[in-house]
Amino acid sequence: FGGAAIAALRLHHALLSAGIESTVLVQEKERDEKGVEAYANGFVAKKKALARFAAERLYFAFKEKEKSVRFHFSPLWTGADISTHPLIMEADIIHLHWINFGFLSLSSLEKLFSIGKPVVWTMHDMSTFTGGCHYSRDCDSYLTHCHHCPYLRKPAAKDLAYRVFERKIHIFKNAPLTLVSPSQWLANLARKAASTQHLPAMAIPNLIDTAIFQPKNRKTAKINLDLSTEKKWILFAGVNTQDPRKGFRYFKEATHLLKDKKEEWGVVVFGKTQPDAIAELGLEVKTLGSIPSHEVVNVYQAVDVMVVPSLEDNYPNTIIEAMACGTPVVGFDTGGIPEQIIHLQTGYIAPLHSAEDLAKGIQFVLENTDYEQLSQNNRRIIEQRNAPEPIVKQFLHLYNQLLSV
């Protein structure tokens, strides 16, 4: 589960379809999946995995500034040694994705790099090259050396972030490591960061299965979800109203600016929602509850626009999922989002923190006289940029380059 896992599995499936032998090693798995193997198999191994997760979180809990940042910082203090795992021993290329929360530690990485096999690391946030934070907010200490970390209870010259950063500098110094990011934004930061500036870094977008995520008659899709066909529906992506990074407060402000459209427009949300927060929106709200992941495509096909007001983000899967279904997206000018949405051609990019412009973006889409062209533009861009074939081609080119060195 989670964006990084979804991106990794999609690449895995695309590689298999292209005839490439691909296997995925995860800490634990909750369902059978072709080519996916759990490191923690059996009762004892699963208990050990849980203990590593708990130890990692407990270690940071005594150092965190406040509870709200508990999962926003990964010290990589404890983890499994996978360097002798059969899948690692058999592999030509080792491709890392999400390693945090007790799966791999800094020591695990050091042992993995010591094997000497080429390692590709897809960065799904900034934690690869920082002193532990997943997003640095307004701090740019990672450009020189992390210290006085704003995520810590007692920031200091040689605090936890300093020590983690120091270890990363040492471990990455001679590592056979190539960094990949779905966005140019994050790849550029990796090229500048003091811990990774000596490593090759490039951007290869996340892929999307265009056979699954595709447009459907919007009216029919609305009927299937019991949405009024007389209204235009706005999907709020990232229902976590408690995480400031998701930008819910700006979405809420935007809907209040549009409340005169209450009879014509409504808001769709799904997943774990807080009724009180959702009830305060300026437009009618339709809550769909928890939806199985394979049915989320039905929502993208039914709504008329999706809004992603994240204040920090790399390359949200939700944006390319909606675009593949021909649904325009409105988002803030932050992280890799402006690389996904083409302003005024597939959707709208609003200046960061501007609820007013977010509202203007929603109006731009829903009142657009050529909405159908907007929809077609989204599908065309996804087919050119994020479809499996072009992404697999780029990764195979990278893999072959590394194996020929």
pLDDT in tens, the chain (405 residues): 788 999 999 999 999 999 999 999 999 988 888 899 999 988 999 999 999 999 999 999 999 999 989 899 999 999 999 999 999 999 999 999 999 999 999 999 999 999 999 999 999 999 999 999 999 999 999 999 999 999 999 999 999 999 999 999 999 999 999 999 999 999 999 999 999 999 999 999 999 999 999 999 999 999 999 999 999 999 997 666 677 888 999 999 999 999 999 999 999 998 776 777 777 888 999 988 888 878 899 999 999 999 999 999 999 999 999 999 999 999 999 999 999 999 999 999 999 999 999 999 999 999 999 999 999 999 999 999 999 999 999 999 999 999 997
Which pLDDT belongs to residue 245?
A: 84
CA proximity to 221, closest of 125, 142, 150, 303? 303
Which pLDDT belongs to residue 239?
A: 66
CATH number of 218-385: 3.40.50.2000
Residue in this structure with the two tokens 């039905």, named with its chain if needed: 298
- The CATH fold assigned to 3-207+388-404 is Rossmann fold (3.40.50)
pTM: 0.94
* Half-sphere CA count of 44, side-chain side, radius 13 A: 0
CA proximity to 180, closest of 87, 118, 236, 225? 118
Residue ranges in 193-308 assigned as alpha helix (H): 218-224, 248-257, 275-279, 296-302
Q: Where are the domains of the chain?
A: 3-207+388-404, 218-385
Q: What is the dihedral of CA 253, 259, 261, 266, to 10 degrees?
A: 70
Q: How far apart are the first and last CA of the chain?
A: 35
Two domains, one topology: 3-207+388-404 and 218-385: yes
Which pLDDT belongs to residue 238?
A: 64
